[in-house]
Copies of this chain bind each other. A is one copy, B any other.
């Protein structure tokens, strides 16, 4: 069965239980996740076969990570083993006026120190019908920009649609360097996901209508991005943070061939765990496209996947496509299912 290949780092996430601060923790809840693995997990939950390509250390913490991926139904047959360590990140969940806080401890991880030639993309992509990476992957290791380029070359040769979530992380690299690396990588992609800020910062595309309403700015940005980078579809994500507990999420999708632009309705989310919302969005987008949904349906589904993720502890969306569709089509009331 052909599957979507998701390439990137998987980390061990450690977070103090309930609302405790780091200095109050005498234990950490542990999950394994990473942008691409989260997307793969969400796809698998929707019934779309998905594989993670990464490198894990050959010890028991690496094994535990592998188990966690398998538990979510992810194909792990392309996971490399070797190197020294699994990247770690510490997450303190915010509450009320206190923001969530992330401390990364990912340097020197197995994937970060992997070599270009360890990835046999011809084999990995042999049965693929999709390829996905985020802007974190090339930022994490020296050889990884080239590894992504290699993968994209094979995708182009085989006609495999590739998608990227720009996902710029200032703690990993400078915006200038990130832009230099990312611009060639996003050229010619099937689907690009980015927010307005990063589109300007890394890809040099912004709207002339600053200050205007989002539905005036975004179509403009999306169309420019599509034109500049020869993209088929551009998704622009939106988030309004009221408190650490309550956010509003929306997103727009632009289909270049038809010129159609649609924005999903704002959904207010009461946050259980906000990590991985964007990854759930990506999975929703890829699902909608694979299932032949319209542009409007696709962006509503993807936004619903994002919203739904906020209700689930951990990095990953655990949900069926039915559950997401029900939310995408709902009038907003939430009734117990029994």
Contacts and interface: CB of A to CB of B under 8 A. Distances in A.
Given A23-B60, A59-B103, A169-B338, 12 more contacts: A18-B18, A27-B28, A28-B28, A60-B90, A68-B71, A70-B71, A88-B105, A96-B270, A96-B272, A97-B327, A97-B334, A102-B338
A30 B19 contact: no
Given A23-B60, A88-B88, A99 B310 contact: no
**Ranked 5 nearest A-B pairs via Cβ:** A102-B338, A71-B71, A98-B311, A95-B311, A96-B311
Given A272-B96, A311-B98, A333-B241, A26 B23 contact: no
A52 interface: no
Nearest to A94: B334
Contacts of A105: 61, 84-86, 88
A311 B59 CA distance: 20
Interface of A: 14, 17-31, 59-61, 63-64, 67-68, 70-73, 84-86, 88, 90, 92, 94-105, 107-108, 169, 171, 240-246, 267-272, 274, 304, 307-308, 310-314, 318-319, 323, 327, 330, 332-338
Contacts of A14: 14, 28
27 contacts: A17-B27, A20-B313, A21-B60, A22-B63, A22-B64, A23-B67, A24-B314, A24-B318, A26-B26, A27-B28, A60-B92, A94-B311, A96-B269, A96-B270, A96-B272, A97-B269, A97-B327, A98-B311, A98-B334, A99-B336, A100-B337, A241-B333, A241-B334, A242-B332, A242-B333, A243-B268, A245-B270
A104 B270 contact: no
A217 B311 CA distance: 36
Contact of A101 (B73, B274, B337): B337
Contacts of A243: 268, 270, 334
Most chain B CB within 10 A, of A23, A60, A92, A103, is at A23
A220 B6 CA distance: 58
B25 A27 contact: no
B269 A104 contact: no
Contacts of A337: 99-102
B72 A312 contact: no
